[in-house]
Structure 1
Amino acid sequence: MKNLKQWSSFRAFSLLLAGFLLASALPLFGSGAKEKKESLVIRGAVYKGSSGFGAVRLLEDPPELGAGISVEFQVLPTPQEMVARVSSGEVDIAVFPTNLAAKLYNAGTGYRLGGVIGYGILHLLSSDTGIASWADLDGKTVYTVGKGATPDFLLRYFLSRSGVEKQVSIDYSITAAPQLAQALIGGKVEYGVLPEPFATLVSNKAPTVSSVIDFQQSWNDLYGGEEGRSYPITVVVLSSKLLDSHPEVARRFLDAYKASIEWVRANPDDAAALIEKFDIMPAAIAAPAIPNCNLVFLPAVESRPLVEDFLRVLLDFDPASIGGKLPDEGFYFQ
C-alpha cells in the first residue's frame, strides 16, 4: 500500500512537471511564430535606361537592413510599367521622373519622395557650329522624343524664354531615343534633343555632331544654380506604408542607395558590366556615359527647393503633367 501511494504521488508530480514544462515552452514557440510574422520583404524596381544606373550595386548585392529584412529588386522595361506596379501597390520602392512622382503623389497613391538620384542630362545635338544660343534656332526644325515628356517641356520652355518658340518647328515623328541617335549619326536629322547616354553615344560615333546647347547650363543660367547642380530629373520614391511602419529601415535603404550611386560614379567600367548584366543597357554604351549622367543623391527635404523650381516650370506649361498642383510638404520624407 505504501508503495502504491508513493507511485501515485510520483505519477502526479511527473504530470505536474510535464504540464509546467509545456506551459513554459509555449511562449518560446509563440515568440518564434511572432518573429516569422514580423519578417519584412522590401520590393523595389528600376527601369531600363540611365535612371537605373545608380541602383546596380543594390541589384548585385542587396543591402542588409536588419534581422529578418530582405530586399528584392527587379528591372522593368518602361516607366509605364512602373506606374502600373506602383498603382497596384506591388512595389515598395520605385524610380521615376520627378514630374511623374509628383503626379502619382497628387493622385493619392501614397508614394513619397526619398531623394533625388539624378540631375538633368539633356543636350541639343547638331553639326551646325553656328548654334550658340536658343535664339539661333529661329527657323530651324528640332527633333525630340515624346510629346509631353520632360525633354519636350524643357525644350519649349527654353525656346519660349528666348522668344523663338513660335519660330521653331518641333518634330516628334521619331519616337525612341536610339532611333533619334542613329538619325543624328547618319546625318538624317540636323538638330535633335537627347538625354544621356545617347548624347555621348552620338558624339563618339559622329565627331562632327556635338552638344551645341547644354540644357543643364541653360537652367543654371536662369536660376543661378550651384556648380554641378541643375534641375532634378530622376527621383526615388517609397510607399507611405514602408515609411510609416519602418522609417529607420527606409533611412538605411536610402543610405545604401547613396553608397551605390557613389560606387557607380567611382567605378564606371565595373558598374557598366553590372548594368549590362541586369539588362539595363549594353556596357559599351553605359561606360563612357556614366561620368556625364549626373548621378547624385540628394535627400528629399534638402532637394525640395530644386524640385519645386522644376515642377513650377512644368506646372506653367501643363498642369496635368504634375497632377495639377505642387505636392505639399508630406511629399518629402524626413
Structure 2
Amino acid sequence: MHRRRFLHASAAALAALASPPSLRAQLRPRILRLSGPWASVSFPLLWMAERAEFGSLAERIEFLPWRDPDELRLIALEGRADFIAMPSNVAATLYNRGLMLRLQCISAWGLLYLVSRRPSLDRLADLGDEELGVPFRGDMPEIVLTQLAAAQGVEARRELRLRYLASPLDAVQLLLSRRLDHALLAEPAVSMVLARSRSGIVSLFAPELYRTLDLQQAWADAGLGPARLPQAGIVAVGAAVDDGGLCAEFAQAHARALGECMAAPQDCGAIVARRSGRLDAAAVADSLGHSRLEAVNAAQARPELEAFLGRLLAHRPGLIGGRLPESGFYSG
C-alpha cells in the first residue's frame, strides 16, 4: 500500500496543517462519526461529542456505541463510523482481512480486573471449582486471562470453570444477585459493581465485593512484560484513512479530550452517565483512577503492540488474523 496512498495522505495532511484556521473550518466535514464501547477507552470520544470546543473537527460530532465485538465488526465493515475505539487484536484482524483502516493510537493500557467475593487472590488456580464470569468469549478479556493463566501453569478453558457472558452488565447483575462469585471485568464496570454493592437498597442483599486482582500487575508478576498492555485504541476507517488533515486534527483533539477527562473526572462521569443512560456518574469518575489511559500514537506504540500481538500469534494466530500487521496498519 502503498507508497501511493502514503504520499497522498502525507500531502493531504501537510495541506490541511498549512491552511489557515478559517479555511480549515470551511473544509470541515458536516458530521464526524465516532464509535466505541461503554468503557473507559470511549470516554474521550464522548467528551468530544459533548463539548462545543471540539466543533472545529466537524459541524456535528456523533457517537455510536457498540455493545459487543460482533456489532463492532459490523459497524467497521459497513463504514458507519470514521473513528472507532476497539481492541487492538480486532483492529489487527480487520486490517489483515483487507478492511481499509489505520491505527491512530493505543489509549487503553490497562482496564482489566478480577472482581470477587474474596478480598485477595494470588493465583487464578486458587479459584478452584468456583465459576468465573467472562464477558465476550474469545475477545480481549479472555485473551489476557488465557495468556496470564498459561504463564501461571493453568490451562484456562480446561482447568478454570469459566462462565461466558454476553456483556459486562450481565456479570454485574449476577454478582449483585449472588449468582456469581467472581468476574473478569474492565473499567468502568468494575467501579460500578463495587459502588452498587455498597449503596442503597442493593447493599442490603448484595455480597461484599472486592477488586481482587489487577490483571496488568499480575501480567508483570508472571514475567510477561510491564504492567501495561496495549489493549485498545482508536482506528480511522474508510475515507478517514486517507484524510491526513482530519487524522492529524483528530489525534490532537483526542489527546486533549483524554487529558481533560482525566483532569475533570466528575465532569467526565456526568457526560458518560447522561449519554449512556446506564452507567453511574460517580462510578465513571472513580474508574478513571483505576484506568491506565494514555494516548500513544501508533508509531510510538508499535514496539509494545507488536510484542503483545506476537504473543497472541504464537498462541493462536486467528486472534490477530494470522500475521502481524504490516507498516500500513500504523499511522505516522
* TM-based fold match above 0.5: yes
- Deviations for 1:111-167, whole angstroms, at most 9, x for unmatched residues? 000001212211112222462223423444322122212111221221111112243
Q: Distance in 2 between matches of 1:74 and 1:111?
A: 18
SS of residue in 2 equivalent to 1:53: helix
Structure 1 window deviating more from structure 2 (91-100 vs 185-194): it is 185-194
Structure 1 window deviating more from structure 2 (316-325 vs 35-44): it is 35-44
Closer, same or farther: CA 137–309 of 1 in aligned 2, 3 Å: farther
**Cα offset, 1:333, TM superposition:** 0.3
Closer, same or farther: CA 37–158 of 1 in aligned 2, 3 Å: closer
Q: Which residue of the partner structure matches residue 214 of structure 1?
A: 214
| Maintained 8 Å contact 1:122/1:193 | yes
Aligned pair partner of 1:197 in 188, 191, 195: 188
> Unaligned 5+ residue runs, structure 2?
1-23, 199-207
| Maintained 8 Å contact 1:49/1:280 | no
Closer, same or farther: CA 281–292 of 1 in aligned 2, 3 Å: farther
Aligned pair partner of 1:74 in 48, 51, 63: 63
**Cα offset, 1:330, TM superposition:** 1.2
Aligned pair partner of 1:116 in 103, 106, 113: 106
Q: Which residue of the partner structure matches residue 11 of structure 2?
A: none
Q: Please list, as runs of the form range in 1=range in 2, the aligned pairs for 1:2-21 lying within 5 A after superposition.
A: none
Q: Distance in 1 between matches of 2:25 and 2:72?
A: 30
Aligned pair partner of 1:59 in 40, 46, 49: 49
SS of residue in 2 equivalent to 1:278: helix
| Maintained 8 Å contact 2:31/2:60 | yes
- Deviations for 1:225-264, whole angstroms, at most 9, x for unmatched residues? 2xxx6112221111364343x3233112111000001111
SS of residue in 1 equivalent to 2:234: strand
Q: Distance in 1 between matches of 2:87 and 2:153?
A: 27
- How many residue pairs match? The answer is 293
Aligned pair partner of 2:179 in 156, 163, 188: 188
Aligned pair partner of 2:76 in 66, 86, 111: 86
Q: Which residue of the partner structure matches residue 275 of structure 2?
A: 278
Aligned pair partner of 1:179 in 167, 170, 178: 170
Q: Distance in 2 between matches of 1:319 and 1:133?
A: 26
Aligned pair partner of 1:128 in 118, 131, 135: 118
Structure 1 window deviating more from structure 2 (273-282 vs 189-198): it is 273-282
Pair 1:265 & 2:257 matched: no
Closer, same or farther: CA 39–275 of 1 in aligned 2, 3 Å: closer
Closer, same or farther: CA 94–280 of 1 in aligned 2, 3 Å: farther
Q: Distance in 2 between matches of 1:217 and 1:39?
A: 42
Q: Distance in 1 between matches of 2:120 and 2:215?
A: 17
Aligned pair partner of 1:325 in 323, 326, 330: 323
Q: Distance in 1 between matches of 2:142 and 2:277?
A: 24
Q: Distance in 1 between matches of 2:314 and 2:89?
A: 13
Closer, same or farther: CA 162–322 of 1 in aligned 2, 3 Å: same
Q: Please list, as runs of the form range in 1=range in 2, the aligned pairs for 1:140-179 lying within 5 A after superposition.
A: 140-165=130-155, 166-172=158-164, 174-179=165-170
**Cα offset, 1:304, TM superposition:** 0.7
Q: Given residue 185 of structure 1, which amino acid in structure 2 is its aligned partner?
A: L
Q: Distance in 2 between matches of 1:280 and 1:110?
A: 32
| Maintained 8 Å contact 2:33/2:82 | yes
- Between the two proteins, what is the percent identity of the paired residues? 25
Closer, same or farther: CA 70–82 of 1 in aligned 2, 3 Å: farther
Q: Given residue 107 of structure 2, which amino acid in structure 1 is its aligned partner?
A: I
Closer, same or farther: CA 43–318 of 1 in aligned 2, 3 Å: farther
Closer, same or farther: CA 59–318 of 1 in aligned 2, 3 Å: same
Pair 1:309 & 2:310 matched: no
SS of residue in 2 equivalent to 1:163: coil
- Deviations for 1:255-279, whole angstroms, at most 9, x for unmatched residues? 1000001111111111111112322
Q: Which residue of the partner structure matches residue 97 of structure 2?
A: 107
SS of residue in 1 equivalent to 2:135: coil
Q: Distance in 2 between matches of 1:320 and 1:224?
A: 22
Larger radius of gyration: 1
**Cα offset, 1:87, TM superposition:** 1.5
SS of residue in 2 equivalent to 1:144: strand
Q: Given residue 269 of structure 2, which amino acid in structure 1 is its aligned partner?
A: A
Closer, same or farther: CA 74–192 of 1 in aligned 2, 3 Å: closer
> Unaligned 5+ residue runs, structure 1?
1-34
Closer, same or farther: CA 65–159 of 1 in aligned 2, 3 Å: same
